[in-house]
Amino acid sequence: MRAHPLTGPLVVLGGALALLVVSFLTWYRVDLGAISGGAQFAARYAAQNGIATSANAWDPWSTLAGLVLFASVATAIGLAITGVATRARSMGAAAASMGAGAVASILIALHIVSGPQPRHVVEVTGWAWVGLLCAIVVLVGGFVWWDHTQHPVAGARAVG
């Protein structure tokens, strides 16, 4: 893990950017066939009234949850870019990256488990699970960054 000082910040950056991209894909889908009373009627009604039958990570969440997720992703991206650009081994930046990854992971896991209502017609797609994986990658990258900062490779020069 300690082979290269930029490994942690690069992993954090990759995970956070991937999470940002994946968050705009379809995380939830309404299974119109599960609606009693006629799937064709439900599909026609949804189409005529402009009712969405799918949602990305941002749509079904509350404003506060969306802001927390956005803050976590933005923090991870900002810290990682700073860490890569300055090559600084900062305990604070590494710990904040781990925190951002942990917050995003917990928030996404809670939304996967609880999901939008009604649960019997709304399914969680694979992209939500990929989003959770990306958040975990940010957490692991923060740990790698922290580990390298705590235990620098022999002969490595401290910056910052």
Residue 1 has what pLDDT?
A: 44
Average pLDDT over residues 125-132: 95
Name the more confident of 63 and 46: 63
* Cα–Cα distance list, 67 to 7, 18, 35, 115 (Å): 28, 18, 32, 18
The pLDDT tens digits of the residues spanning 36-48 come to 666 666 666 666 6
Q: Is residue 73 part of a domain?
A: yes
Q: Is residue 110 part of a domain?
A: yes
Q: Flag whether 43 is in a domain.
A: no
Number of structural domains, the chain?
1
Who has greater pLDDT, 39 or 71? 71
Model pTM above 0.75: yes
Asked if the structure places residue 37 within a domain, the reply is: no
- To the nearest 10°, report the CA torsion of 151, 153, 155, 159: -60
For residue 7, what are the CA distances in angstroms to 43, 74, 138?
48, 19, 12
Which residues form the domain of 139?
7-28+58-115+127-150
- Lowest-pLDDT choice from 12-16, 55-59, 62-66: 55-59
